[in-house]
Amino acid sequence: MDSTDEVIIERRGSAGIIRLNRPKALNSLTLPMVRTITSALEEFAIDPAIAAVIVKGEGERGFCAGGDIRLLHQSGKEGSDGAKTFWREEFRLNHAISRYPKPYVVLMDGITMGGGVGLSAHGSHRIVTERTRLAMPETGIGYFPDVGATWLLPRAPGEAGTWLGLTGLAVDAPDALHAGFADHCVASSALPVLIDAIAALPASASAADVHALIKTMATDAGESAIVAASCMRISDPAGGAVIRVARRPFNCVSRPSSAASSTGLVTKALAPFSFARARSCGVSCPVHMTTGIADVCGLPVMMPVTS
């Protein structure tokens, strides 16, 4: 197990530290990086002097932005097996992380997307910060949420996983915690202290010991916007009826009939409620006519698109 320019491997006390080192590319993954990480994890797993593994990204902008799309695209253009080999080995690494025998502490500080989620969300001790921006943006390029996300997303509360998977939009620390993609929130400024504290644990430290240590440094991430924006009540000034305006995925029913209109109403109607009346309440919202993604009070909503 050797460090490379793109992945730095370090032993500090009882901690095995893996540092992704492509900050200019947001630490996006390449095949050599996947292989170096896999090798390091295998060696740390059987090393009796290592109690826990810590994985982090170098630079100030993010943990890992995913696979290197440029290299994968080039492989497709050339008709080579590079992309297939990358995904095959990356997915095996994701599975190995989910079964890792020692505490796997991952610092999801900053951008954590796609392959970065694969390196983090399957771990045993997943830490977000006030700078975390987590997403599975694959649908934006005509792909699907990979790296085991189709196992994680359906287990998110309510339809949070559906929304994350279909929109590909980024969420912050409170939403990542709510969706089950993280376990603790720690201030980014406290991460160096946390790393040293984990490294100072005895080699016999257990997962429970690591959890207890992280908990002493954890902070309140605040309220999840997904939870807060689940729905709101709007009164119809014309008829006194009350509707619930959905602000979460698939809790919706209507849109204006005019094909020329670029606005739509996303509602779960408890009483007949006209689009004109809804507009007077100020709850009309822009709708992308192809994808049906609307934005109600700042939270994207999926709605059915009819001809």
Q: List the catalytic residues.
A: 67, 115, 138, 146
Tell me the C-alpha distance between 235 and 280, whole Å.
10
Residue (of 121, 114, 99) closest to 38 by Cα position: 99
Q: Which residue has the tokens 């006209």?
A: 274
Gap between the Cα atoms of 218 and 200, Å rounded: 18
**69 CB neighbour count, 10 Å cutoff:** 14
Q: Do the beta carbons of residue 263 and residue 256 sit within 8 Å?
A: yes
Residue pointed to by tokens 């492989």: 75
Tokens of 297: 């009070």
The structure tokens 């992945």 sit at 7
Phi-psi label, residue 10: left if phi above 0, alpha if psi -120 to 50, beta otherwise? beta
C-alpha R_g of the chain: 22
Q: Which residue bears the tokens 């969706």?
A: 179
219 CB-near residues (< 8 Å, 6+ apart) = 185, 186, 187
Rounded-to-integer distance, Cα 9 and Cα 55, Å: 10
- Amino acid symbol at 213: L
Rounded alpha-carbon distances, angstroms, from residue 254 to 240, 263, 273, 301, 303: 20, 11, 10, 12, 8
